[in-house]
């Protein structure tokens, strides 16, 4: 998110500094898949953001050269395992089509043609041509590389420890733990601290409730092209939208350029607990085999986990914070922060350049949670 903001702001001619306490891309961005999805969103502000972002990622892919970020416009396939889930899916696709999503209902024959190795138990599904994929860490590095070519400076290994305020309370910079740059002054500061954005916002006295939502991914040994699209089950959308703190798993399977197949994804709110849970991994593996039976004979290389930046109303926080003039937020994108990064960076750069943003930022405003609390 920070890299996308830097890229668009530098492109707009703004002078940009990026401050990252660890290595570049070391947050949740290095612990996710790289799906750029419109398919898993119900009509509403997040889908509008996703549609804009999918167009922008295509442009970024062209500008940065697709192969350098492994951008693949591979399309998404949703699999319905029962007539009931096929009905639910058709209801979703009908709504999505009214907002500009290219969603096509498909029967079993079309499904097996698109994904020859998918379970023969499937009764149909949907195809989404707009779904795409990038390699998130490469994308982060390349966006920052381009931003630096446009004059941005990047400070890895530099943690923000506080904010500088002027006499009127406006944010005019950040304090850091670096001896080289203990203070960085700026007309605007964007809080793009991912799952830690809540902690950073507290430091600024303008809290936004960003919480960790843990997820595991399984990685198979490299395989030939046995999974052609991003494939998930119809139940996935309900899990994404759920606010349940307990464990939820719904399978998402995708091949990568390297040949490994990524299998996700679990969701649970257990704070920043980094422990490995074998029961969760077994459940993910079993669900994946349910969709692609051949996976039963495939070895796993490894597993990894990350913490999605979750907001209670499932919408990201994007825009200027009226409680701390000079502060903007670009955080809380939960399980879609790669996909939504293009639009988020673009809209904030438009706002900071005095242009009217392509989308209304009102649904994402940072102070909305205060209104929600009686
Ligand atoms: C299992 C899993 C699968 C996922 N799959 C997808 C997917 O397919 N598609 C998708 O779009 N999204 C996916 N996501 C979600 C996605 O990973 C996140 O939404 C996205 O990475 C968030 O990006 P970010 O830049 O906001 O946060 P981060 O990548 O976490 O970056 C925030 C950075 O801020 C830094 N930071 C924090 N505090 C400070 C401080 N005080 N000073 C300086 N730096 C600080 C951190 O070190 C970190 O590098 C998935 C997530 C998980 C866990």
Q: Work out the angle between the directed axes of helices 341-352 and 45-64 (0-180°, nearest 10).
A: 90
Give the number of C-alpha atoms closer than 13 A to the C-alpha of residue 243, restricted to the C-beta side. Answer: 5
Look at residue 374 in the predicted model and tell me its pLDDT. 47
From the CA of 195, give the closest atom in ligand 1. 30
Nearest to 81 by CA among 42, 38, 120: 120
- Cβ neighbourhood burial of 279 (10 Å; 0-12, 13-18, 19+): exposed
- Which residue is listed with tokens 């700026």? 186
From the CA of 215, give the closest atom in ligand 1. 1
Three-state secondary structure call for residue 261: strand
Residue nearest to atom 33 of ligand 1 (CA): 193
Per-residue pLDDT of the chain (374 residues; tens, 9 = 90+): 999 999 999 999 999 999 999 999 999 999 999 999 999 999 999 999 999 999 999 999 999 887 899 999 999 999 999 999 899 999 999 999 999 999 999 999 999 999 999 999 999 999 999 999 999 999 999 999 999 999 999 999 999 999 999 999 999 999 999 999 999 999 999 999 999 999 999 999 999 999 999 999 999 999 999 999 999 998 777 666 566 777 777 789 999 988 999 999 899 999 999 999 999 999 999 999 999 999 999 999 999 999 999 999 999 999 999 999 999 999 999 999 999 999 999 999 999 999 999 999 999 999 999 865 54
209 lines ligand 1 (CB under 6 A): no
- Which residue is listed with tokens 């809380």? 332
Strands of the chain, DSSP E:
17-19, 35-36, 76-80, 103-106, 124-128, 132-133, 153-155, 160-165, 171-176, 183-185, 189-191, 211-220, 230-233, 248-255, 261-267, 300-310, 317-320, 327-331
318 lines ligand 1 (CB under 6 A): no
Residue nearest to atom 34 of ligand 1 (CA): 193
- Residue of 22, 29, 74 with the most ligand 1 atoms within 8 Å of its CB, for mutation: 29
Residue nearest to atom 41 of ligand 1 (CA): 160
**CB contact at 8 A, 114 and 106:** yes
- Give the distance (Å) from ligand 1 centre to CA of residue 147: 19
Range 76-129+211-310 has CATH code 3.30.9.10: yes
Three-state secondary structure call for residue 229: coil
Range 2-68+135-209+317-367 has CATH code 3.50.50.60: yes
- The Cα diameter of the chain in Å comes to 68
26 lines ligand 1 (CB under 6 A): yes
Query: Given this chain, do its domains 2-68+135-209+317-367 and 76-129+211-310 carry the same CATH topology?
Result: no
- Give the distance (Å) from ligand 1 centre to CA of residue 251: 21
Q: List the chain domain ranges.
A: 2-68+135-209+317-367, 76-129+211-310
User: Bridge-partner residues for 124, per DSSP?
Assistant: 80
Look at residue 240 in the predicted model and tell me its pLDDT. 60
Instruction: Count the helix, strand and coil residues of the chain and give each as a percent rounded to the nearest 5.
Output: 35, 25, 40
CA dist., res. 250 & res. 335, Å (int): 13
φ, ψ for residue 187, nearest 5 deg: -70, -35
From the CA of 264, give the closest atom in ligand 1. 1
């Amino acid at each position: 998110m920070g890299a996308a903001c830097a890229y668009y702001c530098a492109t707009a001619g703004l002078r940009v500094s990026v401050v990252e306490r660890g290595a570049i891309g070391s947050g949740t961005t290095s612990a996710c898949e790289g799906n750029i999805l419109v398919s898993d969103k119900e009509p509403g502000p997040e889908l509008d953001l996703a549609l804009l972002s999918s167009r922008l990622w295509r442009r970024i892919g062209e500008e940065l050269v697709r192969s350098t970020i492994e951008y693949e416009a591979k399309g998404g396939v949703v699999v319905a395992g029962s007539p009931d889930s096929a009905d639910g899916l058709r209801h979703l696709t009908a709504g999505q089509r009214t907002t500009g999503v290219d969603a096509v209902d498909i029967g079993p024959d079309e499904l097996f043609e698109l994904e020859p190795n998918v379970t023969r138990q499937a009764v149909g599904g949907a195809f989404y041509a707009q779904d795409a994929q990038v390699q998130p860490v490469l994308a982060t590095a390349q966006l920052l590389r381009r931003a630096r070519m446009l004059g941005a400076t990047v400070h890895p290994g530099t943690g923000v420890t506080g904010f500088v305020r002027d006499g009127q309370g406006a944010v005019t910079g950040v304090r850091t733990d670096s001896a080289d740059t203990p203070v960085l002054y700026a007309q605007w500061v964007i809080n793009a601290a991912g799952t830690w954005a809540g902690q950073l916002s507290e430091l600024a006295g303008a809290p936004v409730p960003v919480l960790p939502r843990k997820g595991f991914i399984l990685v198979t040994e490299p395989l030939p092209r046995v999974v052609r699209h991003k494939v998930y089950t119809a139940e996935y959308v309900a899990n994404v939208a759920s606010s349940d703190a307990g464990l939820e798993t719904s399978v998402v399977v995708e091949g990568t350029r390297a040949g490994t197949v990524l299998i996700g994804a679990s969701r649970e709110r257990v704070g920043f607990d980094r422990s490995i849970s074998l029961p969760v991994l077994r459940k993910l593996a079993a669900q994946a085999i349910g969709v692609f039976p051949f996976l039963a004979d495939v070895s796993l290389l490894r597993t990894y986990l990350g913490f999605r930046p979750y907001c209670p109303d499932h919408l990201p926080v994007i825009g200027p914070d009226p409680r701390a003039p000079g502060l903007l937020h670009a955080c809380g994108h939960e399980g879609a922060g790669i996909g939504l990064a293009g639009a988020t960076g673009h809209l904030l750069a438009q706002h900071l350049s005095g242009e009217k943003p392509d989308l209304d930022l009102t649904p994402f405003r940072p102070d909305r949670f205060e209104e929600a609390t009686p």
